[in-house]
Structure 1
Amino acid sequence: MAGAPLKFGSLLSICIVLYAVFYRKNYEGDLRLSPVREHLLFLESGNKVGLGNRQPKVALGYGACHDLFVNATLLLDYRELKGAPEHFNEISSKDEFLKSFAYFFKHGAAAERFMSNAKLYDELIEQALKLPDTRWAIGGNAPLMAKRFHMEGWKVLFAAKMSKKLKEYIPDEIKIVGDEENEEVKDDVHMILEYKSDEKFGSYKAPRANRYIMHNDENNPLLSSLEKFGDHLPGFKPNLLVISGLQMMDNYPFKTDNDKDLRAERLDMVKEQILSQPLNTLAHFEMASYVDLELLKHLTTKVLPFVDSVGMNEQELTNLYSVLEYGEVSVVADSNPRVATALDQMRKTFHLIKKQNKKYDSNRRLTRIHVHTLAYQAIMTVKDSKWKRTEAAAAKASLTAHRYVCNTKEISLEKAKLLLDDSFSTTTDNDNNSRVFFEPTKPVACWEEEVDGDKVDICVAPVLICTEAQLTAGAGDNISAAGLVLQVEK
């Protein structure tokens, strides 16, 4: 009835809402930032990597490259874009390059593509080197993850054929294997086209900062360090084996000899390398951007059934689930998915990989999935498995995301924002009303549930998103490695 006084319950509800709004925002910004930072740092500082005889060891394969970082919208002229953005599995012309870049740019999605036109690729490299702020760095999943593990206190072995110049980027304490003594190695070069959030490319605007990677590799697709790596693994006795860099095989024109599938043969050797490790050596597979369906199917039969852990971003999660469930490639997905959506895909992927474990009679089974997104880290581990400290791992991965992208050791609140809502559903299932309320003073939400007959722990940590992105390429490698750092105990 108009003019009727508010009941106490209604008044209380309004007060709670107003308090929540005030708590979340004041004139200076998001009040949740400081308590979130302090608790994430508390979790990180309270969980350290073992020292001396307790120091864990990690072995990583395969490959390395020179990364050439380029301002994407300075290198590419949107006026040369003829027609609508379009997806291509491989790039053979400037027209395809522009359409492919625009396709992922407008979605803010990360992508990695092979350019089959070597002449065009060399010309683009020459153009890029004339631009301001272009810079060189070491690239590749294995070396970037290796550097992160070393930085966090692990003993590291990694496999790649590298020139002496490229090896200068690697700390002396990291053991590199792959090339013969005094072998002259020509390094592969990857071009990293970076763009910032809200940057424009003609009529398109990027919804988030990200990168588009182009390569014309000759060395990495062949996993040329594979054999040398295998020779050194028995003596190194790693606690963790990381398989990465297999996306360099994506759409690479492998030469066939007497109807032999060279790519399948190399992946069979990767499988044998994993199987050669004792079961107390945990095995992790680092996903990446794949579009070659045949390669993805190889991964679901030759790699995924034989690892304990998988790490990936939100695009790669959607793609992996799509291949496992429907036998189809998902080229692009929501760049900032709801927590409930990601968790549902993680559960389904967990179920599907477990089926592969059984189908291929694997002695290993999947017990860990880590998904990193712009807004949050989600880690699921099977209870009573060998993975430890899931809550602290999610916190460390979150902090690493901010530090790496901002290129700083400090967590600066002036350069941070939160995208995670004050509460989130744990599933999109309409019959399940389970919600988690985000507490700034205890920001890593963890709970136990049953997934496909296994009791699992799930932890979701908010990311203090860097608002002044300095680095995008390599963020996933550093985040995934940081998530693993605290979960393995010798």
Structure 2
Amino acid sequence: MGSLVLGLGGTVDYEVRWNAATLDALADEFAIRRAELTTSAPITDERSLVVTILAFVAAGGGGERFVTSSEILERFADRFEKAVTLGGTGVRAGLALDQLGIPSVQHLVSIDDNVRRLLPSSIRYVCSATEDSLDPHLIVQYPAGARVQLVDAEVIAPAPNRLIFANDAPNREMALAADLGRELADADIFLVSGFNTMQDAALLERRLDALLAAMRSLPDGALVYYEDAGFYRREFSETIRARLLPRIDVYGMNEDELQEYLGRPVNLLDVADVSAALQDIHRLIPAPALAVHTRYWALAIGPEAHRHEAALESAVRMAATRFRLGDRFTSADLDETGALPRHAGGARVVASLPDVTGVAAFDIDVASPTTIGLGDTFVGGFVAACASREEAAA
């Protein structure tokens, strides 16, 4: 069996513990009113950061946003209890695989003692950085029913979700390691993600040139999985699709990204709305298999989607296990998750779309769910199933 190469950039994350009283105090200190809440304004200071967080909370949404200074994030994080963890789609997918004893190779663009300390021994890495650096990402997860008092109203979260805020120069530059091509020469699976933080169009083109050159080393039959993310410059996603789509086998995204692309909300439990959304997004992104993962279901559309039903099941099961247990879980925990009930509405959507491959999410109610990294863990579960398929074929 060949290797699993996961990239393109990792991060050091500050995961803050939700504290409504602290948010109440900040909303009062900054005199924030309901009409000010927006998720699209520039984040230039701590006040605009809090406004953005509360706007997401009010909608029950998740997303990723650029902040003009890491000092803003440091100052905000210092107000809360926090854990220092590793992030990035490739890294979190690799950490999920490590729980099952599956090794991987990471492509990193930054390194420091946090990364060296927290990466498990099953994960090898190549890195394009020439020196240590630390540009932390702020991760905020909030529970359903979270309440924050504004000057003139109360914000109540209709659902749990997670938010990411960053000013990360190495990920913004996304330099590729010189030996990436050598690692890809023995790869069964290559995960591509992370271009969403880039902001220089000419630099993005150069990085895509370098990536495509490295990908020429991939063996015939290697699977390329591309996971979307919240782009700081949405037009860059068009550039990436134009350059990479011919090499992508599976293109993944979550419900937030789906709705951003379509420019409209989608009722995820309405069969007609979901069907129309899938058709529309596949016209925009005609990948062989386009996978959309949400809190209610995971569905894949495209001529090769049927090949990945087992991978979707593995992905949903692993993400649900992280949701209920956090970072640490075992194969037995995955089996326990598999015995839990499915979401009835999600199951109805899946059953009503016979031309689309899909599985329903699990209906799980826990006091302290983990919403950070669920999409990344979904990717890990998907890759795990694909790796098992490759191993069985070998």
The TM tier, using the shorter chain, reads 0.7 to 0.9
| Aligned position for 2:375 | 476
- The structural deviation recorded for 1:276 is 4.4
Does 1:298 find its partner at 2:239? yes
Q: CA separation of 1:97/1:337 partners in 2, compared to 1, >3 Å: closer, same or farther?
A: farther
Given the two structures, how large is their TM-score scaled by the length of structure 2?
Answer: 0.83
- Counterpart residue type for residue 98 of structure 1: V
Match of 2:114 among 165, 187, 191: 165
* Contiguous gaps of at least 5 residues in structure 2: none
- The structural deviation recorded for 1:425 is 5.2
- Counterparts of 1:417-456 in structure 2, within 5 Å, are 419-421=343-345, 424=348, 436=352, 447=354, 449=355
| Aligned position for 1:61 | 7
Report the Cα distance in structure 1 between the residues aligned to 2:128 and 2:360, rounded to whole angstroms. Answer: 40
Report the Cα distance in structure 2 between the residues aligned to 1:280 and 1:308, rounded to whole angstroms. Answer: 10
- Counterparts of 1:362-401 in structure 2, within 5 Å, are 366-380=287-301, 382=303, 388=307, 390-401=308-319
| Aligned position for 1:16 | none
Does 1:230 find its partner at 2:162? no
Q: CA separation of 1:200/1:418 partners in 2, compared to 1, >3 Å: closer, same or farther?
A: farther
| Aligned position for 1:112 | 64
- Counterparts of 1:57-456 in structure 2, within 5 Å, are 57-72=3-18, 73-76=20-23, 77-79=26-28, 80=30, 81-82=32-33, 83-88=35-40, 90-116=42-68, 118=69, 121-132=70-81, 134-160=82-108, 161-179=110-128, 183-202=130-149, 203-234=154-185, 237-249=186-198, 252=199, 254=200, 261-320=202-261, 322=262, 330=263, 333-334=265-266, 336-354=268-286, 366-380=287-301, 382=303, 388=307, 390-407=308-325, 409=329, 410=333, 419-421=343-345, 424=348, 436=352, 447=354, 449=355
Q: Deviations over 1:399-456 (max 9, x none)?
A: 212210122633778xx77543396356xxxxxxxx64xxxxxxxxx84x3xxxxxxx
Q: Deviations over 1:22-77 (max 9, x none)?
A: xxxxxxxxxxxxxxxxxxxxxxxxxxxxxxxxx45211111111111113545532
Aligned residues of 1:286 and 1:312 also touching (Cα < 8 A): yes
- The structural deviation recorded for 1:283 is 0.8
Secondary structure of 1:421's counterpart equals helix
Report the Cα distance in structure 1 between the residues aligned to 2:114 and 2:171, rounded to whole angstroms. Answer: 17
Q: Deviations over 1:283-336 (max 9, x none)?
A: 11001112523212212212234311111111112333x3xxxxxxx3x74585
Report the Cα distance in structure 2 between the residues aligned to 1:280 and 1:475, rounded to whole angstroms. Answer: 28
Q: Deviations over 1:92-134 (max 9, x none)?
A: 1334323322222111111111111x2xx425424423533x2
Aligned residues of 1:377 and 1:460 also touching (Cα < 8 A): yes
CA RMSD, 1 decimal: 3.0
Report the Cα distance in structure 2 between the residues aligned to 1:191 and 1:343, rounded to whole angstroms. Answer: 35
Aligned residues of 1:399 and 1:464 also touching (Cα < 8 A): no
- Counterpart residue type for residue 87 of structure 1: T
Q: CA separation of 1:75/1:112 partners in 2, compared to 1, >3 Å: closer, same or farther?
A: farther
Q: CA separation of 1:92/1:205 partners in 2, compared to 1, >3 Å: closer, same or farther?
A: same
The alignment of Structure 1 onto Structure 2 pairs a total of residues equal to: 371
- Counterpart residue type for residue 278 of structure 2: M
* Contiguous gaps of at least 5 residues in structure 1: 1-54, 255-259, 323-329, 355-365, 427-434, 437-445, 450-456
% identical equivalent positions: 21
Q: CA separation of 1:210/1:122 partners in 2, compared to 1, >3 Å: closer, same or farther?
A: same
Q: CA separation of 1:311/1:198 partners in 2, compared to 1, >3 Å: closer, same or farther?
A: same
Report the Cα distance in structure 1 between the residues aligned to 2:346 and 2:285, rounded to whole angstroms. Answer: 32
Report the Cα distance in structure 1 between the residues aligned to 2:134 and 2:276, rounded to whole angstroms. Answer: 40
- The structural deviation recorded for 1:393 is 2.5
Report the Cα distance in structure 1 between the residues aligned to 2:240 and 2:101, rounded to whole angstroms. Answer: 31
Q: Deviations over 1:156-184 (max 9, x none)?
A: 1111131133122112121100146xx53
Given the two structures, how large is their TM-score scaled by the length of structure 1?
Answer: 0.68
Aligned residues of 1:69 and 1:191 also touching (Cα < 8 A): yes
Aligned residues of 1:394 and 1:461 also touching (Cα < 8 A): no
Write 1 or 2 for the structure with the bigger share of helix.
2
- Counterpart residue type for residue 89 of structure 2: N
Aligned residues of 1:65 and 1:139 also touching (Cα < 8 A): yes
- Counterpart residue type for residue 369 of structure 1: L
- The structural deviation recorded for 1:149 is 2.8
Report the Cα distance in structure 2 between the residues aligned to 1:245 and 1:70, rounded to whole angstroms. Answer: 22
Report the Cα distance in structure 1 between the residues aligned to 2:126 and 2:359, rounded to whole angstroms. Answer: 36
